[in-house]
């Protein structure tokens, strides 16, 4: 029965992996019908439950209440899902203002169902972030024939007679709304009971002395660490220096407000994004980002031959006739012809082109320059409820003096810049800022705190150099602890490393706090933000375990450095955007925090396993010390995400690729926990058998190799799904959030 249980578990994992691949090839509907909704898939889960419970009873696991509660909780969750599958209803209803209806469309069958009451849309509102056109919330006010008025919005459910209504979409004329409808009176209660049992069981397992984890903590001796190779940086030659404004004068442009990326922000942010996205760094040859942007605005001819545009890919270098890392604007043209035109046409026609992504990236950088020339990056003039640039078509109703100021003030600034009349130039910039503050309602502008916080954020972003420092320190710590191993040297280095760790945590807290103030929410909405949070988790765990495990010190530095580099690889400078309405739930922040803490622990386990092959130091007990909290955090994160999904979409689980791979990761890492469970049972019969002796029969090498390979599931869950499998949970690395409305 024990072997059968593990065989079924492996079969479930195999089916889930295959299903995510099939979904990419054949589509969601095919997999939902032929796999997730098939009778044999349900039977496979049921068989796993039955066999697992038989094994647990035979092994007398009921004597360990926490472990029994954890396993029983999964049975309740699966039973709740089965009840929902049998008796639950998932549908949608389209409402127009003042038109009652009782008809909904069943999402599974496509057939019309009838509600036991009528529903009428009284009002629909599309709320935007102040001063922008970015949606903040979608609100439907409905009434039913059997209840009072209901308000349905993102993360706010309307409920009547066990029918729950969720905001799903709306008509372009704002006179109609689409609501998801869920009816599941029994399945929700059973599932929530399972969640409660799971949380209580995991807490008891970590705290009760007879459950084994506390004994495992006391038996741990030392930890090991892995080596990671540093990447190198390259230099490039420079051309004649371009013309720029003095740094203090250019900085005054940064104090202007600008409408950019769906929100109002300092013009300094536009300059930082512009410079970083094209050049790869927020400064160019010692010039600040404000100097670079205003240089392109007022002295473009001196910049056209500058090696300012960072390109990559053999195809791009071939098309531009240059193998340099940085090329100029002029390099993109020959005899007035854009060198990328023909290749871009081939890509857009669907032809297979080498380095197509690199070609598109190079073209995007050129388009960013063209956007600057066309005015799309300089929307600094508010008028009515919109922001305009000098080159935009202005409303006909605009007063002439306001129209004249918008159309000609920047031209005047350009003339003053050419004449180097910086005193008058500064005065004109001050007039533009005064115009902004006078024209716009103060509530629609960032507060002084938010404005200054964003400017501090832009000027104190040292993530890339800090990542390199942490990786270097991690390697030095490994050498000092594992190779040199001199107590006197380790004491000195330990103090230095501790100071660096504390300083890193303080800086990351400062950096994330600034981003929180600027964005107005905990920054966990895109890939960059999540990886930065994971860096913070790595360093905090390092400090928590600093005295108990000396080798954990290099773990933290290496993990924090790697996650920072991954964040920077996603994009050079991620934008801060208004949060999509569905992502404003506090459950999202808790869900992501818990998941990333579990991934951090899994990464530590992987580094420890790699280190074992290098040093042959350590034991599987040390892995188990981190494995159980990692598993419990992952399970908690998954089910908090399920609760959030239920609040937002009316379903706990949608078999989205990211959801499925998170479950796969949980199942893969639970297998070593099964080995530990078997060891506990054996110990009950023979007290002399320990985890180490049990695993020695399996071979340490196999155990550690398994833990290394298991981390591939984490990588696929986070990166593979984002870049290859897709789905609603795919993080965008450009600062955008997953689509909120279907």
* Mean per-residue pLDDT over the chain, rounded: 80
Q: How confident is the model at residue 549 (pLDDT cuts 50, 70, 90)?
A: low
Residues paired with residue 160 on neighbouring β-strands, in sequence order: 163
CA distances from 60 to 55, 72, 231, 675 (A): 9, 14, 52, 15
pLDDT value, residue 579: 52
DSSP one-letter code for 491:
H
Phi-psi region of 280 (alpha: psi -120 to 50; beta: other; left: phi over 0): left
Q: What is the CA radius of gyration of the chain?
A: 29
Q: How confident is the model at residue 470 (pLDDT cuts 50, 70, 90)?
A: confident
Separation between Cα atoms, residue 89 and residue 106, nearest integer Å: 7
Q: pLDDT at residue 693 above 60?
A: no
CA distances from 642 to 188, 523, 636, 655, 722 (A): 11, 20, 10, 11, 19
Q: Which residues contact 16 (CB under 8 A, 6 or more apart)?
A: 660, 661, 663, 664, 667
Give the model confidence (pLDDT) of 500-542 as tens digits.
Answer: 889 999 999 998 899 888 877 777 766 677 778 888 888 888 8
Q: Which three-class secondary structure state does DSSP give residue 383?
A: strand
Average pLDDT (389-412) is 89
Separation between Cα atoms, residue 553 and residue 547, nearest integer Å: 9
CA distances from 177 to 138, 140, 230 (A): 9, 7, 53
Question: Which helix H or strand E contains 508, and what residues bound it?
Answer: helix 487-519
pLDDT value, residue 236: 35
Q: How confident is the model at residue 723 (pLDDT cuts 50, 70, 90)?
A: low
**Is 358:312 a contact under the CB 8 Å cutoff?**
yes
Q: How confident is the model at residue 368 (pLDDT cuts 50, 70, 90)?
A: confident
Give the model confidence (pLDDT) of 224-256 as tens digits.
Answer: 332 232 223 333 334 468 999 999 999 999 999
pLDDT value, residue 268: 93
Q: What is the dihedral of CA 450, 456, 458, 460, to 10 degrees?
A: -150
pLDDT value, residue 679: 46
Q: How confident is the model at residue 134 (pLDDT cuts 50, 70, 90)?
A: low
3-state secondary structure 119-150: EEEEEEEEEECCCCCCEEEEEEEEEECCEEEE
pLDDT value, residue 341: 87
Give the model confidence (pLDDT) of 78-123 as tens digits.
Answer: 898 888 888 888 888 999 998 889 888 887 778 888 888 999 999 8
Average pLDDT (63-71) is 84
What are the backbone angles phi and psi of residue 631, rounded to the nearest 5°?
-60, -45
Separation between Cα atoms, residue 667 and residue 671, nearest integer Å: 7
Q: pLDDT at residue 72 above 80?
A: yes
CA distances from 40 to 34, 45, 125, 330 (A): 10, 9, 45, 63
Q: How confident is the model at residue 738 (pLDDT cuts 50, 70, 90)?
A: very low
**Two structure tokens written together for 324:** 């340099």
Separation between Cα atoms, residue 530 and residue 516, nearest integer Å: 13
Phi-psi region of 353 (alpha: psi -120 to 50; beta: other; left: phi over 0): beta
% of the chain exceeding 70 in pLDDT: 83
Is 313 buried (19+), middle (13-18) or exposed (0-12) by CB count in 10 A?
middle
Angle at 573 between CA 454 and CA 342, to 5 degrees: 140
Q: Which three-class secondary structure state does DSSP give residue 244?
A: coil
Separation between Cα atoms, residue 709 and residue 274, nearest integer Å: 40
Q: Which three-class secondary structure state does DSSP give residue 27?
A: coil
pTM of the model: 0.61
Is 554 buried (19+), middle (13-18) or exposed (0-12) by CB count in 10 A?
buried
Q: Which residue has the higher pLDDT, 640 or 681?
A: 640
pLDDT value, residue 417: 92
Q: How confident is the model at residue 465 (pLDDT cuts 50, 70, 90)?
A: confident
**Two structure tokens written together for 561:** 């450095």
Question: Where are the alpha helices (H) located in 419-486, listed in sequence order?
Answer: 422-439, 448-459, 463-478
Sign of CA dihedral 499, 503, 607, 198: positive
Q: Which residues contact 710 (CB under 8 A, 6 or more apart)?
A: 602, 606, 665, 668, 669
Please name which of 558, 540, 563 lies closest in space to residue 477, comparing C-alpha atoms: 558
Tally Cβ neighbours within 10 Å of residue 654: 17
Tally Cβ neighbours within 10 Å of residue 518: 25
**Is 181:164 a contact under the CB 8 Å cutoff?**
yes
């Amino acid at each position: 029965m024990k072997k059968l249980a593990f065989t079924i578990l492996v079969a479930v994992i195999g089916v889930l992996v295959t299903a995510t691949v099939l979904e990419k090839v054949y589509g969601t509907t095919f997999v939902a019908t032929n796999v997730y909704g098939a009778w044999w898939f349900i039977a496979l889960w049921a068989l796993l439950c039955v066999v697992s419970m038989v094994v647990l009873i035979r092994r007398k696991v009921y004597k360990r209440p926490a472990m029994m509660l954890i396993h029983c909780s999964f049975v309740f969750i699966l039973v709740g899902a089965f009840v929902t599958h049998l008796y639950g209803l998932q549908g949608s209803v389209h409402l127009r203002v003042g038109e009652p209806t009782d008809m909904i469309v069943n999402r599974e069958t496509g057939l019309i169902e009838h509600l036991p009451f009528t529903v009428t849309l009284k009002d629909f509102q599309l709320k935007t972030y102040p001063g922008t056109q970015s949606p903040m919330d979608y609100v439907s006010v409905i009434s039913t024939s059997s209840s009072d008025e209901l308000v349905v919005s993102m993360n706010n459910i309307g409920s009547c007679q066990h029918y729950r209504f969720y905001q799903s979409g709306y008509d372009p004329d704002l006179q109609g709304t689409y609501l998801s409808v869920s009816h599941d009176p029994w399945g929700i209660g059973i599932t929530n009971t399972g969640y409660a049992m799971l949380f209580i069981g995991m807490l008891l397992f970590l705290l009760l002395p007879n459950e084994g984890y506390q004994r495992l903590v006391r038996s741990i001796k030392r930890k090991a660490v892995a080596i990671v190779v540093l990447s190198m940086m390259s230099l490039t030659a420079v051309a004649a220096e371009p013309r720029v404004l003095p740094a203090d004068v250019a900085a005054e442009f940064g104090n202007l407000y600008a409408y950019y990326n769906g929100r109002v922000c300092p013009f300094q942010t536009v300059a930082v994004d512009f410079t970083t996205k094209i050049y790869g760094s927020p400064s160019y040859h010692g010039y600040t980002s404000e100097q670079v942007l205003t240089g392109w605005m007022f002295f473009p001819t001196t910049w056209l031959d500058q090696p300012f545009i960072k390109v990559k890919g053999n195809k791009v270098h071939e098309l531009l006739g240059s193998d340099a890392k940085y090329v100029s604007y002029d390099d993109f043209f020959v005899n007035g012809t854009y060198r990328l035109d023909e290749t871009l046409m081939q890509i857009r026609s669907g032809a297979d082109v080498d380095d197509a992504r690199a070609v598109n990236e190079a073209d995007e950088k050129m388009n960013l320059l063209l956007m600057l020339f066309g005015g799309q990056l300089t929307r600094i003039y508010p008028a009515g409820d919109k922001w305009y640039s000098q080159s935009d078509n202005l409303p006909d109703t605009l007063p002439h003096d306001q129209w004249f100021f918008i159309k000609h003030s920047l031209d005047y600034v350009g003339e003053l810049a050419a004449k180097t009349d910086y005193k008058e130039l500064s005065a004109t910039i001050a007039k533009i800022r005064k115009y902004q503050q006078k024209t716009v309602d103060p509530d629609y502008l960032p507060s002084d705190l938010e404005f200054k916080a964003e400017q501090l954020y832009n000027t104190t972003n040292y993530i890339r150099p800090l990542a390199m420092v942490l990786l270097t320190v991690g390697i030095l710590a490994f050498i000092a602890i594992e190779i040199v191993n001199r107590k006197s040297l380790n004491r000195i280095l330990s103090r230095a490393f501790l100071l660096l760790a504390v300083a890193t945590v303080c800086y990351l807290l400062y950096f994330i706090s600034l981003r929180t103030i600027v964005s107005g929410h905990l920054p966990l909405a895109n890939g960059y933000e999540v990886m930065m949070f994971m860096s913070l988790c790595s360093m905090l765990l390092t400090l928590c375990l600093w005295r108990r495990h000396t080798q954990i010190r290099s773990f933290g530095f290496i993990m924090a450095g790697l996650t920072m580099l991954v964040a920077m690889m996603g994009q050079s400078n991620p934008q801060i955007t208004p949060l999509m309405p569905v992502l404003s739930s506090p459950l999202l922040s808790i869900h992501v925090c818990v998941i990333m803490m579990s991934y951090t622990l899994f990464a530590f386990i992987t580094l420890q396993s790699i280190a074992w092959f290098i040093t042959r130091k350590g034991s599987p007990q040390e892995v188990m010390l981190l494995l159980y909290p990692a598993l419990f955090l992952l399970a908690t994160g998954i089910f908090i995400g399920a609760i959030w999904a239920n609040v937002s979409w009316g379903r706990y689980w949608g078999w989205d690729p990211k959801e499925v791979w998170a479950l796969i990761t949980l199942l893969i890492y639970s297998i070593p926990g099964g080995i530990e469970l078997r060891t506990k049972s054996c110990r009950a019969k023979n007290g002399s058998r320990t985890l180490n002796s049990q695993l020695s029969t399996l071979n340490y090498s196999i155990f550690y190799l398994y833990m290394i390979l298991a981390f591939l599931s984490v990588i696929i869950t986070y990166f593979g799904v984002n870049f290859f499998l897709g789905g609603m949970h795919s993080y965008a690395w450009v600062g955008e959030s997953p689509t909120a409305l279907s």
